[in-house]
Structures are given as structure tokens and as C-alpha cells.
Amino acid sequence: MKKTLFILGLFTITIFNCSKDDDSNSGNIEDTYADLSNISGDEGSRIEVTQNNEDLVYTGQNVLGWGTSTLLNQNYSKDLRLLNEGFETLEIRMSIPSNLDFVESAVNTHGLSGTTLLLQDTQDLDSVIVEMYTIQNQEREQFFGTLEIRRNVSYLNDVLDMVGTFEITRNGQTIKGLFWKKEVANW
């Protein structure tokens, strides 16, 4: 009997401690991008490019989105643009099946597809497809990597409606970014 109570007590403590650990990381954007001190203003972005052991930093003051486009079979896409000073405009496109809510789909961690989703391939979407790219000479240059978007992030006694972080690669470059918007009118 004592052995059973001991095992049951140990099991309860283990479950309680695991759930505490899970809760401590939920909603903590600082775990993803350590330096939020660069946030200034109601919206903006900060991009760090590492190439040849050198770090280059670009900032922007405009985050435009989410614009909506219609795809095939009532599927849809939402687009976001990060306008930066000295660095090309970054575009994020989420193609979403018609049966999924955009906010629930967007607020998540996404792997970037790395390829362009053509309109004719949007007929039978069964999951969210996320692209991040720049447009150079009217052609998309796709990125591989990850993108995380969070909503209602508390920061310095304020709440930001959207905070996004990403880490992408291109031609030997590592590019990390942070973007934020205090109010997003068209979620």
C-alpha cells in the first residue's frame, strides 16, 4: 500500500511540474527573440543579416497587412509586407483552406514552403501554406526557414496586437527578424 501511494504521489508531482514548465513558456515571445528593446512606435521591423561573420541591421517603420486574395475553391490567402530601410521589402503570404479561420491559422509557428504556390495549385488546399519572399526583377525569391506569429503580446505596459519573428536562409546568409504592430485592423 505504501509503495502504491509513493508511486501515485511521484506521478502527481511529475505531472504538476510538467504542466508548470509548459505554462511558463506559453506566450513568452522573449524566448524566441531575446531582444525586444528595439521595439519603438506602433509598428515596425528589425532585420539582422549575418554574412561573412558580419552582422548588418535594417529597420523599418511600416508593416502592411493583412490583405486578402481569393484562391480557387473558396480558399483564400492573406498577405503581409515588411517595408525596411536599406533592405528589400519582405512579403509573407499565407494560403488557407476555406474551412480554417485565419487568426487561428496565423497565430502559430510555421515552416516556410520555399516555393511559389501557383493559383492553379490552390484548388485542393488541406493545410496552411506559408511563403516568405522578396520580388526582384518581377520574380519571387523564396526563403526557407521558420516564421512565428503571436497575438496580444504584453510588452512594457502595453499590448501589441501582433508580434512576428522569423529566421530564414538565403545564399549562405542567415536572416533573423522581428516585426510588430500595435493594432491590426484586418485580421
**Share above pLDDT 70 across residues of the chain, in percent, rounded to a whole number:** 80
pLDDT tops 50 at residue 132:
yes
Mean pLDDT, residues 101-122: 96
| Statement: the pTM of the whole predicted model exceeds 0.95 | no
- Contact between 187 and 103 (Cβ < 8 Å): yes
Sole residue written with cell 533573423: 176
Query: What's residue 164's pLDDT?
Result: 95
Cα distance between residue 94 and residue 74, in whole Å: 14
Let me know: does 174 contact 167? Beta carbons within 8 Å: yes
**So what's the pLDDT on residue 26?**
40
Give the model confidence (pLDDT) of 9-68 as tens digits: 444 444 334 433 333 334 444 444 445 777 888 999 999 998 888 889 999 999 998 999
**Three-state DSSP state, 23:** helix
Residue for grid cell 549575418: 50
Q: How far is CA 94 from CA 22, 43, 87, 175, in A?
A: 28, 20, 22, 20
